[in-house]
Amino acid sequence: MKKLNVKNNEAAIYGVGGLGEIGKNTYGIQFQDEIILIDAGIKFPEDDLLGVDYVIPDYQYLVDNKDKIKALVITHGHEDHIGGVPYLMKVLNVPIYAGPLAMALIKNKLEEHGLLNSVELHEISDKSVLKFRKMKVSFFRTTHSIPDTVGIAVHTPVGVIVETGDYKFDLTPVTNQPPDLQEMARLGAEGVLCLMSDSTNAEKPIWTHSEKWVGNSIAHIFDQIQDRIIFATFASNISRIKTACDNAMAHGRKIAVFGRSMDAAIVNGRELGYLDIPDDAFVDAHDLQSLPANKTLILCTGSQGEPMAALSRIANGTHRQIAIQPGDTVIFSSNPIPGNTTSVNSVINKLEEAGANVIHGRVNNIHTSGHGGQEEQKLMLRLMKPKFFMPIHGEYRMLKIHTELAEQCGVPMDHSFIMQNGDVLALSRDHARMAGHFQAGDVYIDGSGIGDIGSIVLRDRQLLSEEGIVVVVATVNLTNQEIQSGPDILSRGFVYMRESGELLDEGRRLVFKTIRKAMRAKKATESSIRNAIIDDLQEFLYDKTERHPMILPMLIMNGNQK
C-alpha cells in the first residue's frame, strides 16, 4: 500500500485528476486515516487518442487506501466531475453525496452500468453538513452553467480546506440560485487554511457575463425570426434549455426534443422544478410537418459537432425525421470546446449549404461561459482569504496565472502551489510543503474496455490511420524448408492494389527470398521468419514510397516445426 510522506499532525491534499488539464477532476483531502474525495470526472480524448471514448484517472492509490475513504462528495453534474463515478464505483464502493440534479444524473449512469442498487447514495443541499470521526464537510452555493452547484469546505483538525468546484459569480442566474456570498465571506472570516480554486478562465481579464444577459440576446433573436428554429446546446445546460423553452412558449412555438441526453435533461429538469414546461408545450416528431414554421422550436444535441448527435445527422441529411428547410434558423448556443472547432465548422458549413441560416459565435451574444474570469477569481480569493493556495481545474499556464492573481490578492507566491496529478501537499496550521508523489496517470476507456488500451495500441492505431497496413500471407513447411503457397500481399490504406501491381509483385519476390533465407537459419522459428519479413519488406516499401505501413505477416505453418 502506497503511504504518503505526511506527518500525523498534517492534512494532505492531492489531485488524482484535474491538474494540468481540463477534465477528469478527482481530488482527495486526507487526514490520518480519513479521506474525503471530491468529484470523479472524465476527460474527453484529444485527436491523437484514436478510438478512445473517455479518459479517467488511474485509481490505484485510492484502491490501495479504500478503507480510509469516507465519502465521495460532488460539486455539480457535469461530465468532467461525475463521468467517472461508475468506473470508480466498480473498484471501490463508497457513499456518494450530491445535490438533486447531480444525483439524478449519477443514478442514470449507475443504472446503465448495473450498479444502482449496490451504491450508497445521499442527496445533499448547500445547507448540509457531513460529520465524520476526524473531519467535517460543509457546502456553499455557487453558480455555474448547471443548477445545484456547490463549493465544498472540508474542516480538518489543522484547518479548513475549500474546493470551489466550477464557478462564476452570476448575480442574476435564471435558475434563481444566486451565489452565497455571505457563506463564502463567513468561511474566510473564520479562516481558510488552503483554497483549491477553478482556473479555467484565468487567462481572461473579465467578469463573465450572466446567463440573464444571454437570455436577453436569445429573446431578441426569437423576436426577429418568423420561420422554424433549431436550437442546439449542451444537454447539461439546464439554464440555456430553460431560456430557449421559455422564449418558445412566449412566441407560441411548440417544442420538439431530439437527442437522448436532451430528453433526459428535460425529464430531470421538469421533475426537479427547474423547467416549468407543461405537457402541451411539447410536440412529437411526426407532428412537426403539420405545424407552421413559425410555431416550431426543435431543441437538440450536437452543438459540439458530435458525429452521431441529432444536429450532425440533420446537417448530413441522414436524420430520419428532420430535414433542413429553406428559411430554417439554426442557433448554436455554445462555444466549441478545444479540439471540436473543426467538426463544429463542418456542421455549420453543411447546414448553410442545405439552406439554413446559422447563428453562432460570440458576436451574436448567444453563449456565456460557466467559469469566472480573472475578476471573479480575485473576488473568490478576497472572500476566502486563504493562507495557502492551490489552483485546480486548468492547464499549466492557467494554474500559473491564477497564482499570480492570488499574489495580487495577498497570498505570497511561496504560499501558492502549482501541482501535478499525484503530487501531495502536506498542510499544518502554519506550514505547507510538498510531500511526495503517487502514480496518477491516464486510463483509457474504449467501448466496454477499461485500461486495456495502452501506448502500444495507440501507436498501432496512429500508424494504421496515417500509413495503412500491408498483410503478407504464406504457407510454410519449416521442417522441409518449403514455401507451399504464397507469399501473397494485401494492402489496406497503403496503396491502391489495382494500380500498384508492379510494386506488389516486386514485394512478393522479395518476401519469397526473405522466407527461404530465414528458414535456412540454424534456429529458424515462426517468430524469426515473421521478423525477417517485417524488416526486409519495411525497408523495401520505404525505399519505394517513403512510407512506413504496418507489416502483418500471417504464416500458416505445416509439418513438424523446429
Residue 349 belongs to a domain with what CATH number?
3.40.50.10710
DSSP, collapsed to helix, strand or coil, labels residue 493 as coil
What confidence score (pLDDT) does residue 384 get? 98
Residue 13, pLDDT score: 98
| Catalytic position from the list 39, 148, 170, 198 | 198
Cα distances (Å, whole numbers) of residue 44 to 82, 84, 422: 13, 11, 20
Q: Cell numbers at residue 436, please?
A: 511526495
The gap from C-alpha 301 to its chain's centroid, in whole angstroms, comes to 16
Q: How many CB atoms lie within 10 A of CB 300?
A: 24
Residues 30 and 107 in one domain: yes
DSSP H helices, 195-299, are 211-224, 238-250, 260-271
Q: Where are the beta strands (DSSP E) in 348-507?
A: 357-359, 388-392, 423-427, 432-437, 442-446, 449-450, 469-477, 482-492
More confident position, 311 or 453: 311
Cα–Cα nearest to 88, from 17, 155, 20: 17
Measured in degrees and rounded to the nearest 5, phi and psi for residue 296 equal -130, 135
- Asked which of 341, 359, 377 is the last residue of a domain, the reply is 359
Contact indicator for 493, 462 with CB cutoff of 8 Å: no
Active site residue 67: no
Decide if 149 is inside a domain: yes
Specify whether 100 is located in the same domain as 246: no
Q: How many CB atoms lie within 10 A of CB 222?
A: 21
Confidence at residue 261, expressed as pLDDT on a 0 to 100 scale: 86
Residues 376 and 497 in one domain: no
Q: Which of 418, 450, 482 is the last residue of a domain?
A: 450
Average the pLDDT over 346-359 and give the result. 91
| Cα–Cα distance for residue pair 410/129, rounded to 1 Å | 30
Which residue type is seen at 224?
Q
User: Do residues 110 and 96 share a domain?
Assistant: yes
The answer to whether position 322 is within a domain reads yes
**Residue 174 domain flag:** yes
pLDDT of residue 452: 46
Residue positions forming the annotated binding site:
51, 53, 76, 78, 80-81, 144, 166, 235-237, 367-371, 393, 446
Q: CB-based contacts of 213: which residues, under 8 Å, 6+ apart?
A: 365, 368
Please give the pLDDT value at position 50: 47
Residues with Cβ within 8 Å of residue 456, at least 6 apart in sequence: none
With respect to residue 5, please indicate whether it lies within any of the assigned structural domains.
Answer: no
CA distances from 218 to 144, 214, 246, 302 (A): 19, 6, 10, 18
Is the bond preceding residue 487 a cis peptide, omega within 30 degrees? yes
Q: Which is more confidently placed, 559 or 185? A: 185
Task: Tell me what the mean pLDDT of segment 433-437 comes to.
Answer: 94
Query: Which residue positions form the known binding site for substrate?
Result: 235-237, 367-371
Do 119 and 187 share a structural domain? Answer: yes
Same domain as 169, residue 33: yes
Domain holding 494: CATH number? 3.10.20.580
Q: What is the mean pLDDT of the chain?
A: 88
- The vertex-310 CA angle with 98 and 107, nearest 5°, equals 20
> What are the grid coordinates assigned to 458, written together?
495507440
| Residues near 523 by beta carbon (within 8 Å), at least 6 away in sequence | 562
Pairing of the two strands 449-450 and 442-446? antiparallel
Binding-site positions for Zn(2+) = 76, 78, 80-81, 144, 166, 393
Is there a domain that residue 4 lies in?
no
Report residue 234 as a C-alpha cell. Answer: 449542451
Residues 146 and 35 grouped into a single domain? yes
Q: Which of 155, 371, 402, 415 is catalytic?
A: 371
* Residue 318 and residue 378 in one domain: no
What is the rounded average pLDDT of the residues 2-27? 91
Same domain, yes or no: 157 and 273: no
Active-site annotation holds for 371: yes
Domain count along the chain: 3
Q: Give the pLDDT confidence of 249-306 residue by residue, as tens digits.
A: 999 999 999 988 899 889 999 999 999 999 999 999 888 888 999 999 999 988 887 7
Which of the given ranges, 312-326, 382-396, 514-528, has the highest pLDDT on average? 382-396
If asked whether residues 421 and 519 sit together in one domain, one would say no
Mean pLDDT for 345-359 is: 91
- Identify the DSSP state of 517: H
Query: Averaged over 309-319, what is the pLDDT?
Result: 88
Model confidence at 235, pLDDT cuts 50, 70, 90, reads confident
- What's phi and psi for 362, nearest 5 deg? -65, -25
What percent of the chain clears pLDDT 70, i.e. is strictly above it?
90
pLDDT at 277: 94
More confident residue, 145 or 140: 140
Domain boundary among 340, 359, 378: 359
pLDDT confidence of 506, banded at 50, 70, 90? confident
Cα–Cα distances (Å) from 321 to 145, 286, 298, 326, in that order, read 30, 7, 11, 16
Mean local confidence (pLDDT), 509-520:
85
Query: What's the confidence (pLDDT) of residue 68?
Result: 96
Q: Examine residue 123 and state whether it is found in any structural domain, yes or no.
A: yes
52 and 142 fall within a common domain = yes
Q: What are phi and psi of 242, to 5 degrees?
A: -60, -45
For the chain, what percent of residues have pLDDT higher than 90? 58
Place of cell 504457407: 475
Same domain, yes or no, for 215 and 201?
A: no
Domain containing 162: what range?
11-206+369-450
